[in-house]
Amino acid sequence: MTRIDITTVQVADDKSGPYAITTGPDRALWFTLVHSAQIGRLAPGGEPEYFALSPKYDPLVITTGPDASLWFTGLAGRIGAVTARGDVTEFDLPSRSARPFGIAAGPDGALWFTDGGLHRIGRITTTGAITHFGIPVKDASPAAIAAGPDGALWFTMNAANAIGRVTVDGDFDVHRLPTADAAPVGICAGPDGAVWFTEIGAGQIGRIDDAGTIVEHPLPDRASRPHAITTGPDGALWFTEWGANRIGRITAAGKINLRGLPVPDSEPHGLTAGPDGAVWAALENGSLARCTAV
């Protein structure tokens, strides 16, 4: 029987708030510190480094861009990038009402992001040129976004209770979820050619294929509030249970394993496949969790 082992690494105090995490091209872990306006870097086994942003930036989601920089969103209405040397560039979005959250590298050499404030999808080139696409759903509240296996971008619509798909030309498809008030958040390309997502409101993990067929997997604790999801190095999907202080793992066949974090109220959010064969999660209590299936 598969079980999950977890060890934690302290990278900040509990007021800095590690929120999202990704693996950079330098084989280090890069993470956002949402409450201290910093980006952190940790090579497994090393000491953390920190790169300061503009005051009140509140960085959220982070991903590797096509230019080998780390790109991130922020509640201050900006998109930012940091190089492996720590050089930071910030791009203001045209509207002060913008609230970028999810971000992912697209198949077209640009970054794509969600704008929950204006209910639209954005595209930004590595030189800062910005284009917006209005979602054809009222008050969608788009959350996470990921490049799909079909060459399109897939995103969750938290308030609209739907999964969206947008091509690089700006054409949209909308797929309503079978479960009411499921409130999807996290999304990623799976190991099976489908897209997987979390339903924070329903306590389920969802799967959608390129034909729009949706399968939902109820979690043992429907109040666990699953948040982020990623494909692990082991070919399974890994997710955080923000409301239950746990890390979860689900196979493509739907088999679920869960493990509680060693510290209560850790507030797990984003996670990523690490450079060392493990899955790493950002914990808002100031730690990163290293997770392996054994």
Phi and psi dihedrals of 117, rounded to 5? -70, -35
Mean pLDDT of 244-256: 98
Q: Could you report the per-residue pLDDT of 79-93, keeping only the tens digit for each?
A: 999 999 999 999 999
- Please report the pLDDT score of residue 96 as a whole number: 87
How far does Cα 128 stand from its chain's mean position?
Answer: 21
Residue 267 assigned as binding residue? yes
- Please report the pLDDT score of residue 14 as a whole number: 85
Instruction: Tell whether the model's pLDDT for residue 76 goes beyond 90.
Output: no
Mean pLDDT of 277-285: 97
Burial of 21 (C-beta count, 10 Å sphere; 0-12/13-18/19+): buried
Phi-psi region of 29 (alpha: psi -120 to 50; beta: other; left: phi over 0): beta
Q: How confident is the model at residue 1 (pLDDT cuts 50, 70, 90)?
A: low
Residues 6+ apart with CB under 8 A from 175: 162, 163, 164, 165, 208, 212, 214
Mean pLDDT rounded to a whole number for the chain: 96
Q: What dihedral angle (degrees, nearest 10) is formed by the CA atoms of 35, 37, 39, 42?
A: -50
DSSP H/E element including 141: none
- Please report the pLDDT score of residue 236 as a whole number: 98
Q: How confident is the model at residue 62 (pLDDT cuts 50, 70, 90)?
A: very high
Residue 284 assigned as binding residue? yes
Q: Could you report the per-residue pLDDT of 30-56, keeping only the tens digit for each?
A: 999 999 999 999 999 999 999 999 988
Instruction: Tell whether the model's pLDDT for residue 206 goes beyond 90.
Output: yes
Identify the three-state secondary structure at position 276. coil
Mean pLDDT of 7-28: 95
> Exactly one of 119, 132, 175, 269 is catalytic; which is it?
269
Residues 6+ apart with CB under 8 A from 169: none
Domains in the chain, please, with CATH?
4-293 (2.130.10.10)
Quick check: pTM over 0.95? yes
Mean pLDDT of 90-113: 96
For the chain, report the end-to-end CA distance as a whole number of angstroms: 8
Instruction: Please give the Cα distance from 100 to 36 (Å, whole number).
Output: 18
Q: How confident is the model at residue 207 (pLDDT cuts 50, 70, 90)?
A: very high
Instruction: Tell whether the model's pLDDT for residue 22 goes beyond 90.
Output: yes
- Please report the pLDDT score of residue 180 as a whole number: 98
Mean pLDDT of 215-239: 98
Q: Could you report the per-residue pLDDT of 155-190, keeping only the tens digit for each?
A: 999 999 999 999 999 999 999 999 999 999 999 999
Mean pLDDT of 217-225: 98
**Nearest residue to 156 (alpha-carbon basis) of 139, 144, 168:** 144
**Cα angle: 245, vertex 249, 252; to 5 degrees:** 150
Residues 6+ apart with CB under 8 A from 186: 143, 144, 156, 197, 198, 226, 227, 228, 229, 239, 240
Instruction: Tell whether the model's pLDDT for residue 239 goes beyond 90.
Output: yes
Q: How confident is the model at residue 75 (pLDDT cuts 50, 70, 90)?
A: confident
269 labelled catalytic? yes
Residue 47 assigned as binding residue? no
